[in-house]
Chains A and B, each alone.
Chain A
Amino acid sequence: MENELALLNNYLVVGAMLFGIGVIGFVSRRNMIIIFLAAEMMLQGVSLSLVAWARYHNDFGGQMFVVFIITVAACEAALALALILMLFRASGSLDIALWQHLREANQPAYVDEEIPELEVKSPTWPRLVPAGRQPELDRSDTEHRPSV
């Protein structure tokens, strides 16, 4: 019994930590996919503590609950992917701060402080000495398709 209580404690602490990390990620990140992942992490924390409680009480209700939580989370993930995809098509960015047109009439928009532009340098790779037979490439394999 002592052992079981210690085990329960440990799992509850880990579950609460996962939940807390999820909350922090949810409120501090701006990438829509990462926000969603943070919410998923909160759900995992809940699931972990439910399973720990189920073991402690020797009751299967908690595990059943977790199965349903996982399913609902999958449904939400599918919807989130679809939603994010549509928003990305509309705005071309995953930044959630772009979606702030609905607000109180006289409230100013939230504007970023100056963020230095990240220098993106496309790397130049050396050409290798050709050897062997030239592979036959389909044009569609090498071309960059801009349609997303």
Chain B
Amino acid sequence: MRDYLRTHAGEARLFVVLAALTLYLGFASPTFLSAGNLASLLNNNAVNVIWAVGLLVVLIAGGIDISFAVGASVAQYLTALALHAVGGGNWLCGLLFAGAFGIAIGCINAALIAGFRVISIVITIATFNALFGLLMFTTSGKSIYDLPDWWTDRIAVASLGAGGALTLPVAGMVAAMAATWFLISRTTTGRQIYAFGDNPEGARRAGVATVKIQFIAYGWLGLMAGIGGLMQVNLAQEVVPNALIGRELDVLAAVVLGGARLGGGRGSVFGCFLGVTLVAVVQNGLNLLGVSPYAFKMLIGLTILAAISLSNFDMGALLAGGSRRHGHVGNH
């Protein structure tokens, strides 16, 4: 336990903040801890967590990906078309399609980044523009409402009590978290991802297949983007080509808030979950306390600014000359 606190100080601090916030909201608002509210919090943020753990793997590997939300939109749209072509399909079919399209998009990013040694932020901004432009151009921005019933039916997987049914996206979230945790903490590949993110050249000399690692990292995020997109349709009941744009930056902020380091080599699934949850709880709490919805974003931005300032302040960055900042977006 003490070891965990020492190695995961960021997560521990975030957890304390979240616990304090939960306690306060529990007293301040009678509905906050109700089964209905907690269930809707989880249901509505499950997709963000799925994307967050995918992005986490890329961040650990020292990269960054701006294009995954657009990738999820493309995967959603292609999946809807493919399901239409095969005459409806089922969940297995949908998972296969969405996963495959997502992985394909991730592999395009990986191929460009690893193949031409371009820094990941440049490539993913380019693929963001290319994919979004092509998606909007070829679909003319048309939404798809005619979807198979199995896809849009709400499926309750568990209950938190009266009126608090957890739906399928939450199950997807748990599965994604478990699988990502297993990948990065319990496999050799996972250790290699950390090693590569921390020191690409060192990892290469130690015999890590660096190209393979990048394909795995971006492919994993692609898979999560595809599955998240699939789950998001289950919530929204429709496929809108530009609905997910902009979510990538919110997810990125939450993941980094959760202790993942831009520049690679650090981050955990639990931290990811805490980061997304903190942002969600702040928004939910403001709502319950009767704050004007127009002020939400402002206060969330302030929360993140305060959190990053405080967390870096504690690290003694002031004394160390701010040198922690200079790991940066990845240098491969």
Do A and B interact?
no
